[in-house]
Each structure stands twice: as structure tokens, then as C-alpha cells.
């Protein structure tokens, strides 16, 4: 039995991992959030692991309020950078494989074709800069598999899909930007991918290592196209109107283009990643059931 620790278990991804964990009987899971383990306190991390030794640690915890981070910089860096550095250091000390979730926001969004893992980074927001600093801590420690993702949604927590569904029930029209392109990620698919990665790491008896992978659903779309698809599946009848980013100002700058290549992760782990529209339909099928 391989013991796996999940931090941030009440977030979207952590909740999805918990929901599907029964499909991986060869793994024993310990699900924690702030109440069980404060990852900002290195002493608490060490004490917890003394009592609950694990082989894999999946860090789903983090500060993800992109706009709020611009005014809450200290907390963003504490969770996304300092806490990640502690996890990386302690994982290296104990020979654990850390799997850390990062973001497309570490890029500047000015590319015109999919980002690969080795592309130059240049975050434009406090959120992106704090997540990059967390990535750099893993690189310095020489251990930790980074999984960058984008546009995450699920039936848990707050996300774009839920916001569109709520607003479409309140209004006849919604303005959504059409000049920002990326790819949605159904948290259920990402959760399955992470646990499949762990399964393969176990089978291959790999030693803890440092690497970076990209994961989102396949395909690409604008926020406008994503919102339109949500309304189509929901059948609410709300009209989605395309607007430019300059007409919808946010506190933090959004990437103009943040599509990421998945060739590396699909090649090395033989993953089959669903198209974003197929996963969105699956999401609606599941919440309907």
C-alpha cells in the first residue's frame, strides 16, 4: 500500500481527488486542509509527517483568488511561495515525491501557439509571480513534479462555470470577453490524471525527481466560447454577448493567450485527455444526475 497525502482537500481539485480515490485501492490517502495541517508552518508539516509518513504528497493548496491577490500580496506569497518552499524542502529531506499544482499565469500570455514546459516565464500578476516563486523553490530543492493547469472548474467551490450558471439565471444577457484564449480544465479529469501519474511512478519504482508538465483539457476556446457552451448545455436561454478585454476591466491582468501543449504529459504517462467540450458535457451529466 502506497501512502499519499493530499493538502488543500476542500478545494476543487482536492475534492475531486477525494471523490475518485476509491478507484485506486493500491493507494492509502490522507486528506488534509488547514484544520488538519497548516502548510505555512514547517514545524507542523514535520510533526504531521512524523505521525503520518507518506511516499507521495499532492499539494492542491494555494491562494487562487487572482484579483484579490493584487491587494493581498503577503498572503498570496505565504501560501503559493513560502509554504511550497517548505513542502519542497521537507519532501527532499524525507525522500517523498511532491506533486505541486501550478498555473498558466506564470506566462505573460503573449504567445500565439501552445506553451511548452520550457518556454520563458514572465508572470504579469501577483498571483502568477507568487506561483512562479513556488515553482522555483521546487527547482532549487531538486524535487517535485509541477503540473501547470488552467481555467479549472468542478462541482465544488467557485469557478467560471458556476458563475455563468448563476448569472444566467438572474439576467437575460451577459457580456463575456472574446479576445482571451485558453483551455478549460475539468478538475475531475485532472484528478484522474494525477492519480494515474502516481500509479505509474509506483509501477516504475521511480525515485523522487523534479519535472514540469502541462495539463488542461484538449482544444482551445475564448471565455466567450466557453460561456456560450455552458449556456447551450444548461439551456437557460441567456444571451452571451462578446466584448473586448478593454471593456471588461479586472484588478489583475488576464493572459491574452494561455493554451498549453500537453504532448509531454500524454507521451510520458500515456494519458488520454478529453476535449474540453466532452468534459463540459460530462460535468453537466454528473450534476444533473
DSSP category for residue 11: S
Q: What is the pLDDT of residue 289?
A: 74
- Which is nearest to 12 in space by CA: 169, 162, 130, 226? 162
Print the domain residue range for 83. 2-154+185-217+260-273
Q: What is the pLDDT of residue 276?
A: 98
pLDDT at 249: 86
Query: Can you say whether residue 99 is alpha, beta or left, with left for phi > 0 and alpha for psi between -120 and 50 degrees?
Result: beta
pLDDT of residue 248: 85
Side-chain-side CA neighbours of residue 130 (13 Å):
23
Residues 288, 204: Cα–Cα separation, whole Å: 39
The pLDDT tens digits of the residues spanning 208-261 come to 999 999 999 999 999 999 999 999 999 988 999 999 999 888 999 999 999 999
Q: Would you tell me how many other CB atoms lie within 10 Å of the CB of residue 44? A: 14
Asked if residue 171 is part of any domain, the answer here is no
Residue 232 pLDDT: 96
Is it the case that residue 109 has pLDDT exceeding 80?
yes
Is 27 inside any structural domain? yes
CATH code where residue 123 lies: 3.40.50.720
pLDDT in tens, 147-171: 999 999 999 999 999 999 999 999 9
Does a structural domain hold residue 112?
A: yes
| Whole-angstrom distance, CA of residue 165 vs CA of residue 234 | 8
Instruction: Please give the share of the chain, as a percent, with pLDDT higher than 70.
Output: 100
Question: Max Cα separation, the chain?
Answer: 56
> pLDDT value at position 119?
97
Q: Give the confidence band of 112 by pLDDT, cuts at 50, 70, 90.
A: very high
Is residue 10 included in any domain, yes or no?
yes
Across residues 192-213, what is the average pLDDT? 97
Mean pLDDT of 53-74: 97
- Number of domain units in the chain: 1
For 165-183, what is the mean pLDDT?
A: 96
| Burial readout 205-230 (b: 16 or more C-beta within 10 A, e: otherwise) | eeebebebbbbbbbbbbbbbbbbbbb
Angle (CA) 109-115-121 rounded to 5° is 60
160 falls within a domain: no
- pLDDT over threshold 80, residue 84: yes
Residues with catalytic function: 127
pLDDT at 199: 97
Q: What is the pLDDT of residue 92?
A: 96
Query: What's the mean pLDDT when you consider all of the chain?
Result: 96
Amino acid at each position: 500500500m502506497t501512502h499519499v497525502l493530499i493538502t488543500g482537500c476542500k478545494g476543487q481539485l482536492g475534492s475531486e481527488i477525494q471523490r475518485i480515490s476509491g478507484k485506486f485501492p493500491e493507494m492509502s490517502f490522507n486528506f488534509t486542509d488547514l484544520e488538519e495541517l497548516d502548510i505555512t508552518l514547517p514545524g507542523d508539516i514535520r510533526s504531521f509527517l512524523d505521525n503520518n509518513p507518506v511516499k507521495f504528497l499532492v499539494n492542491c493548496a494555494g491562494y487562487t483568488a487572482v484579483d484579490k491577490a493584487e491587494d493581498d500580496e503577503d498572503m498570496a506569497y505565504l501560501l503559493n511561495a513560502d509554504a511550497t518552499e517548505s513542502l519542497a524542502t521537507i519532501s527532499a529531506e524525507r525522500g517523498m515525491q511532491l506533486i505541486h499544482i501550478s498555473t498558466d499565469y506564470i506566462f505573460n500570455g503573449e504567445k500565439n501557439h501552445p506553451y511548452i514546459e520550457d518556454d520563458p516565464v514572465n508572470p504579469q500578476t501577483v498571483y502568477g509571480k507568487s506561483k512562479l516563486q513556488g515553482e522555483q523553490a521546487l527547482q532549487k530543492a531538486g524535487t517535485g513534479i509541477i503540473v501547470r493547469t488552467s481555467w479549472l472548474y468542478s462541482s465544488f467551490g467557485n469557478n467560471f462555470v458556476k458563475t455563468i450558471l448563476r448569472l444566467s439565471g438572474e439576467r437575460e444577457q451577459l457580456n463575456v470577453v472574446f479576445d482571451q484564449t485558453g483551455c478549460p480544465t475539468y478538475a475531475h479529469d485532472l484528478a484522474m490524471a494525477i492519480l494515474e501519474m502516481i500509479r505509474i511512478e509506483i509501477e516504475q519504482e521511480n525515485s523522487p525527481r523534479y519535472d514540469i508538465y502541462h495539463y488542461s483539457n484538449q482544444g482551445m476556446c475564448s471565455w466567450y466560447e466557453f460561456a456560450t457552451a455552458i449556456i447551450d448545455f444548461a439551456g437557460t436561454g441567456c444571451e452571451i454577448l462578446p466584448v473586448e478585454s478593454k471593456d471588461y476591466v479586472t484588478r489583475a491582468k488576464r493572459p491574452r493567450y494561455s493554451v498549453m501543449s500537453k504532448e509531454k504529459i500524454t507521451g510520458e504517462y500515456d494519458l488520454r485527455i478529453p476535449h474540453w467540450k466532452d468534459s463540459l458535457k460530462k460535468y453537466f451529466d454528473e450534476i444533473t444526475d
